[in-house]
Amino acid sequence: MHVLVVDDDEMVRFVLNEKLAEVGYTVTDACDGQSALELFRGTAFDAVLLDLKMPGMDGITTLREMRRHDPDVPVIMVTAFGDISTAVEAIKLGAYDFTEKPPQLSRILVTLKRAIEKAALEREVRSLGKSAEESMVLKAACEKLKELDKMKTAFLSSISHELRTPLTSIIGYAEIARQKYCKLLSSITPNDEKVVRVIGQIDANLDILVSEGNRLADLIDNVLELTALEAGTADICSDNVSLESVINGVATEFVEQFKSRGLDFSWEIEADLPSVVGDSRRLSHVMHHLFSNALKFTEQGHVFCTAGKVQGNLLVSVSDTGKGIPETLHRTIFDKFSQIGETLTDKPKGTGLGLPICRLIIERHGGNIWVESELGKGSTFTFTLPAFREIG
Amino acid sequence: MNDQNPVDNRKALSWLEGDEQMLVKIRAIFVKNIPAQVALLKESLDAGDAALVERFAHSIRGSAAMMGAGVMSDEAGIIEMFAIAGDLDSARAGYSRFFGAYERVMEALASGGGCDACPGGR
């Protein structure tokens, strides 16, 4: 602690220098107000002991200047023979306290210690106040961001609905045109090669229109599902669901697809697997997406699914021998619009919404989902769900 | 105040909290500085400069008090009060009493009139 002693009396300066140094203070002294101010402006003092009556600049003027420069440093006035009126004036100007001359050392030490502690506390309180203020600003900004996020979600949901309705008509009429009118035209003019060729071309174009339309419809459905899950407005059932039935159902759908790609596909479900409380349609969606991903990203080898019970939770894994996922993407892959296709092939395979939807569905069911993967060796997607009860 | 001794070492030691070594050191400072201040007081009285009289009388008053020289301090205080009131005639009249007290203090200090640690003993 650094104390500035200002007194025109050499005896006072000498004694205070010696005695304060004995108890650990660093002391600088000045014999008048002017030189004290110069020191004060250039050094960070923790406290000042200031004589009231000095030649030249008096104690009151010196105090006023010190307060103007740094109001936080406590100043203790030292006044001869109890000049109370001047001491009171000093207190009004912001002096911490005053002590009479000759300065009683024990009193000065106590006053000095209290003054320094009070100044430190005031600094801390100000700092805490500032932190609280910053915290309030951050909280307000956070609330604003949440509000904007809600608005964005509502907008996305609204615009998706608006897109979905006409798209349904487009796909429907394209399907009708392809299935009904093309066949009809072909049957009317079966011998005109040119007409047959044109009809075939129209048929192929309509096929693309329906296929791309369905892809767009899937994307919009995913956006709608994601926004509903994020906003907490998704209507999730709380049924007693047999995960074994869900896995068996979805896996069976994929048997032929894996086979046609030359991939070995199998699944193994632990006997007497407990049920879960949840939404079977959405849990089926999760399984569908995990099998679909494995199909997309596995060129050769096998895809294997297991389901079992681990410490009160159901644990389901889908492993493949695909190209794997870089470690840097293991967490972000569950974020919106994160597409692993970009890193594995020349073009993205998917919308970047499938895994985020899976994550939200699993989280809404009280579980977790994660991926373990090694480049060139394959990936394993695993999720947990709280077990409800044993199915007898 | 002890009439027999113009310097009351107990008073001086009280604010030094019994540190006799410190008393020896500040006594040396007092003896070194006070004659010049007394001379400046006299000069300002002769020059009729009330502000300077007040300032020097005030300084001497404080230093004397710290040395336990009560009479000398009181007499300097009287000069200071007259100077504040602008009554330099009264201040001058008081100076002779003050100077007498000052001389007694200096004699006492020169003869070691003070603490056991001071040169010359108590």
Examine the pLDDT at A342 and tell me if it is beyond 80: no
> What tokens appear for B23 in the block?
């008393």
Q: Which amino acid is at A31?
A: C
Read off the pLDDT band of A81 (50, 70, 90): low
ipTM: 0.84
* Closest chain A C-alpha to B101 CA, distance in angstroms: 20
> What tokens appear for A114 in the block?
């209290």
Largest CA distance in chain B: 43
- Nearest CB to A103; choose among B15, B26, B63: B15
CB pairs under 8 A between A and B: 49
Q: Is the pTM of this model over 0.80?
A: no
Do A106 and B17 count as a contact with CB atoms less than 8 A apart?
A: yes
pLDDT digits (tens, 9 = 90+) for A306-332: 999 988 889 999 999 998 998 888 888
Q: What are phi and psi of A192, to 5 degrees?
A: -90, 105
Examine the pLDDT at A105 and tell me if it is beyond 50: yes
What is the distance between the alpha carbons of residues A45 and A74, in angstroms, rounded to a whole number?
A: 9
pLDDT at A128: 79
Q: Please report which helix (H) or strand (E) contains residue A169, including its range.
A: helix A105-176
Contacts of B65 (CB under 8 A, 6+ apart): A80, A81, A101, A102, B73
Q: Could you give the count of Cα atoms lying within 13 Å of A352 in the half-sphere of its Cβ?
A: 13
Closest of A36, A37, A3 to residue A17, by C-alpha: A3
Q: What is the mean pLDDT of chain A?
A: 85
Closest of A42, A41, A62, A50 to residue A4, by C-alpha: A50
pLDDT digits (tens, 9 = 90+) for A240-280: 999 999 999 999 999 999 999 999 999 999 998 999 999 99
pLDDT at A345: 44
Do B59 and A9 count as a contact with CB atoms less than 8 A apart?
A: yes
Chain A residues near residue B30 by CB distance under 8 angstroms: 11
Q: Which residues of A touch B (CB under 8 A)?
A: 8-12, 14-15, 18-19, 53, 55, 80-81, 101-106
Examine the pLDDT at B86 and tell me if it is beyond 60: yes
Contacts of A152 (CB under 8 A, 6+ apart): none
Chain A residues near residue B18 by CB distance under 8 angstroms: none
pLDDT digits (tens, 9 = 90+) for A34-44: 999 999 988 88
Residue from A7, A8, A9, A51 to probe the interface with B (highest B Cβ count within 10 Å): A9
Read off the pLDDT band of B47 (50, 70, 90): very high
For chain B, give the secondary structure using H, E and C: CCCCCCCCHHHHHHHCCCCHHHHHHHHHHHHHHHHHHHHHHHHHHHHCCHHHHHHHHHHHHHHHHHHCCHHHHHHHHHHHHHHHHCCHHHHHHHHHHHHHHHHHHHHHHHCCCCCCCCCCCC
* Closest chain A C-alpha to B93 CA, distance in angstroms: 23
pLDDT at A373: 93
> CA-CA distances (angstroms) from residue B19 to A122, B62, B70?
36, 19, 20
